[in-house]
Amino acid sequence: MMGYGKRVLVVDDEKQVGRLLVRHLELHYFAAVAVANGLQALGALHQRHFDAVITDLHMPYLDGFDLLRQCHLIWPRLPVILMSGNLSGVVRPTTAQGAFAYLSKPVDIEKLIHVLSEAFTHTDDSRSSQIDMLSHMPEAQRCWAV
């Protein structure tokens, strides 16, 4: 019951993707909510507490990078996991902007659950401790704020 009590916000403009991720997260005992864009995500984050955000990069109104920046300003310890079907050219900007991790779409659910577990375990650790402890995870690409 790794996810018991943890709230995860899923942000994706493809409603089927959002619903699918919520369903899988709920099977792992997370309390998951899906919204369709970054503006809706900010509204949800202001209304209730979430332990992590999983967001698509390419969305209308407020994309994943903009949402990541807003989250870091308002909730600096909130882990934000970025996902995209096209990660070419994204690694460096993601690293510079401080995403906890980034995953390719379609998202491998087991990798996602593992990344969430690490995010919850290490949210309060220092950045150097996170890098040391997560270096054994080649299947999920990690990135940290520079």
In this predicted structure, the answer to whether residue 2 has a pLDDT above a threshold of 80 is: no
CATH label, 7-142, candidates 3.20.20.60, 1.10.10.10, 3.40.1050.10, 3.40.50.2300: 3.40.50.2300
CB–CB of 101/143 below 8 Å?
yes
pLDDT, tens digit, 9 for 90 and up, residues 46-90: 999 999 999 999 998 899 999 999 999 999 999 999 998 876 655
Both structure tokens of 95: 């690293």
Using 50, 70 and 90 to split pLDDT, how confident is the model at 128?
A: very low
pLDDT, tens digit, 9 for 90 and up, residues 22-57: 999 999 999 999 999 999 999 999 999 999 999 999
Single out the residue of 30, 44, 93, 73 nearest to residue 82, CA to CA. 93
Would you state the pLDDT for residue 92? 52
Would you state the pLDDT for residue 69? 93
Could you give the CA distance from residue 123 to residue 118 in angstroms, rounded to a whole number? 8
Both structure tokens of 96: 């510079």
Would you state the pLDDT for residue 115? 94
* pTM (2 d.p.): 0.80
Could you give the CA distance from residue 82 to residue 126 in angstroms, rounded to a whole number? 21
88, amino acid identity: S
Could you give the CA distance from residue 60 to residue 62 in angstroms, rounded to a whole number? 6
Helices 109-122, 15-27: crossing angle, 10 deg rounding: 70
Would you state the pLDDT for residue 104? 87
